[in-house]
């Protein structure tokens, strides 16, 4: 978070400092731009690339807005919508409870950076879903409700011809060979939907439960909870990196964490997940670097314990094999079949991430059609 702040401060400094040679003659408070606008293009690109490396696309857009010279030295995201550099990665949209004055709270789970961003465009469409990487999937308000993909960090809107499918569960935007594919998964029917921007409709594929779960796993990067088979059982597969995938079961108050030992071809207990912390809820799970988040403990699993009309946040320390409830008072209460965070503001990062995993965003289009 500090690194991102320093880079943003550097851009502001470069864009606002007066020229040294003109400083004595200029009135107090005058800002001169000519010096910084004449920076070598390769230097401007190096600064811009540092923002792209950390996926701080909003900082990149601010840099391009400084002057024409900086804009011409860098690539235009709207001309390269399918370029992976300009796509959000690991940005999650925190619950609508945290909206204020039309702003949404976004979080980069790789760097720990929060972004409170105003997105007036969302008022012009139905918000159908958000993807695990940070895209908004929208639908036209007018029939046949054509699909749209909105990048909240660059402001780019990709228009699809195809109307929104009748059911939407998990959504993801995938770039392959310079093209953007929009995928939907329908949990109730085990169907997979796919379309390119120019397609007249979504292509749907009926899958058996086993095949469907494989696709669901692939789209969500190996981090999702399986369906709850009882009031106290949650199974999740979490990918920490390319080599390590965990299987986690939470039954009652005792989590079990396993990994596949490829050397011997067997599943074995996990003794440590290093600096990571894992969050598991009814509708999602998430692995983050605990060092990026103050107050979070590494090598732990945070999960929500469903008590029917309420839910508590629990923490399981993998090393000590101890479970503790973080508060005697329930952090979530069930309202209209959904759990709502009821603890006093300001909320902790642990509460925010647990809220993200325990709740599922409702499609505004589906809600409107049921009225």
**How many angstroms separate the CA atoms of 160 and 196, rounded?**
7
Do 346 and 284 fall into the same domain? yes
Predicted confidence at residue 337, as pLDDT, reads 78
Rounded to whole angstroms, the Cα distance separating 9 from 28 reads 22
Q: What mean pLDDT value characterizes the chain? A: 80
Q: Clarify whether residues 243 and 315 are in a common domain.
A: yes
**What is the rounded CA–CA span in Å between residue 66 and residue 18?**
14
Compute the average pLDDT of residues 145-152: 95
Q: Is residue 20 in a domain?
A: yes
**Mean pLDDT on 330-335:** 89
Pairing outcome for strands 191-195 and 113-118: unpaired
pLDDT, tens digit, 9 for 90 and up, residues 284-299? 788 899 999 999 999 9
Domain match, 142 and 170 both: yes
pLDDT band at 143 (very low <50, low <70, confident <90, very high): very high
Asked, for residue 278, whether it belongs to a domain, the answer is yes
Domain for residue 19, yes or no?
yes
User: Does some domain include residue 314?
Assistant: yes
* Residues 209 and 324 placed together within one structural domain of the fold: no
In this prediction, residue 360 carries a pLDDT of 72
Q: Is 123 a member of any domain? A: yes
Please check the confidence at residue 313 and state whether its pLDDT lies above 90. yes
Residue 213 and residue 259 share a domain: no
- Give me the domain span that covers residue 351: 224-358
Q: Which residues pair with 261 in a beta bridge?
A: 266
Are 98 and 210 members of one domain?
yes
pLDDT of residue 213: 75
Task: Write down the pLDDT at residue 235.
Answer: 52
How far apart CA 149 and CA 364 sit, in angstroms, is 15
Q: 51-62 burial string, b = 16+ CB within 10 Å, else e?
A: bbebbbbbbbbe
**pTM beyond cutoff 0.85:** no
Q: Which of 219, 249, 272 lies at the terminal end of a domain, its last residue?
A: 219
Per-residue pLDDT at 20 exceeds 80:
no
Strand order in the sheet with 103-108: 91-93, 103-108, 113-118
Q: Which of 160, 186, 219 is the last residue of a domain?
A: 219
Q: What's the pLDDT score for residue 341? A: 86
Alpha-carbon distance of 356 to 255, in angstroms, equals: 20
193 & 237 share domain: no
Question: Is residue 370 a part of any domain in this protein?
Answer: no
Q: Is residue 189 part of a domain?
A: yes
Both 229 and 341 in a single domain?
yes
Indicate whether 119 and 213 sit together in one domain.
yes
pLDDT band at 358 (very low <50, low <70, confident <90, very high): confident
pLDDT in tens, 233-279: 455 666 665 555 676 777 666 777 888 777 777 888 888 888 999 89
Give the single-character DSSP code of 38: T
- 268 and 198 assigned to the same domain: no
pLDDT of residue 174: 85
Would you state the pLDDT for residue 125?
A: 95
Tokens read off for 309: 């009309």
Domain stops at, among 219, 249, 267: 219
- Whether 12 shows a pLDDT value over 50: the answer reads no
State what percent of residues in the chain have pLDDT above 90: 37
pLDDT in tens, 60-105: 999 999 999 999 999 999 887 788 899 998 899 886 555 556 688 8
Per-residue pLDDT reduced to its tens digit, 21-62: 333 344 444 445 557 788 899 999 999 999 999 999 999 999
* The predicted structure's pLDDT at residue 368: 74
Residues 272, 163 within the same domain: no
**Parallel, antiparallel, or unpaired for β 179-186 and 170-176?**
antiparallel
Q: What pLDDT does 226 receive?
A: 53
Co-location of 154 and 239 in the same domain = no
The whole-number average pLDDT for the span 136-154 is 95
Selected residue with higher pLDDT from 167 and 110: 110
Nearest to 117 by CA among 140, 133, 94, 138: 94
State the pLDDT at residue 31: 47
Structure tokens at 38: 């004449």
pLDDT tens column, 152-209: 999 999 999 999 988 877 888 888 777 889 988 887 788 889 999 999 999 998 888 8
Residue 364 domain-assigned?
no
Domains identified in the chain, total number? 3
Q: Looking at the DSSP assignment, which residues form a beta bridge with residue 234? A: 250
Both tokens assigned to 307: 């008590």
């Amino acid at each position: 978070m500090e690194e991102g702040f320093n880079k943003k401060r550097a851009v502001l400094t470069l864009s606002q400092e007066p020229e040294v040679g003109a400083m004595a003659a200029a009135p107090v408070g005058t800002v001169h731009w000519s010096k910084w606008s004449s920076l070598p293009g390769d230097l401007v690109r190096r600064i811009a690339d540092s923002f792209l490396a950390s996926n701080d696309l909003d900082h990149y857009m601010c840099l391009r807005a400084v002057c024409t010279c900086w804009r011409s030295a860098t690539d235009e995201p709207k001309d390269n919508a399918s370029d992976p550099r300009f796509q959000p990665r690991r940005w999650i949209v925190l619950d609508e409870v945290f909206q204020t004055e039309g702003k949404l709270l976004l979080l980069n789970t790789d760097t720990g950076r929060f972004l409170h961003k105003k997105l007036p465009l969302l008022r012009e469409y139905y918000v159908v879903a958000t993807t695990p990487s940070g895209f908004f999937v929208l639908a036209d308000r007018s029939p046949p409700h054509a699909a749209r993909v909105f990048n909240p960090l660059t402001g780019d809107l990709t228009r699809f011809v195809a109307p929104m499918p009748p059911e939407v569960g998990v959504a993801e935007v995938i770039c392959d060979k310079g093209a953007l594919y929009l995928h939907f998964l329908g949990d109730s029917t085990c169907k997979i939907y796919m379309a390119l921007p120019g397609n007249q409709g979504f292509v749907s594929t009926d899958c058996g439960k086993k095949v469907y779960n494989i696709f669901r796993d692939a789209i969500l990067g190996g981090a999702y909870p399986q369906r709850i088979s009882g009031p106290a059982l949650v199974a999740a597969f979490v990918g920490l990196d390319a080599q390590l995938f965990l299987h986690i079961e939470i039954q009652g108050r005792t989590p079990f964490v396993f990994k596949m030992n490829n050397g011997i071809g067997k599943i074995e207990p996990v003794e440590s997940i290093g600096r990571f912390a894992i969050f598991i809820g009814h509708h999602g799970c998430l692995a983050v670097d605990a060092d990026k988040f103050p107050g979070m403990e590494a090598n732990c699993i945070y999960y929500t314990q469903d008590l029917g009309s309420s839910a508590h946040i629990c923490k399981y320390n993998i090393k000590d094999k101890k479970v503790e409830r973080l508060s005697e008072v329930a952090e979530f209460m069930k309202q209209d079949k959904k759990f709502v965070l009821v603890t006093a503001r300001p909320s902790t990062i642990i509460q925010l991430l647990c809220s993200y995993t325990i709740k599922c965003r409702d499609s505004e289009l589906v809600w409107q059609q049921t009225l």
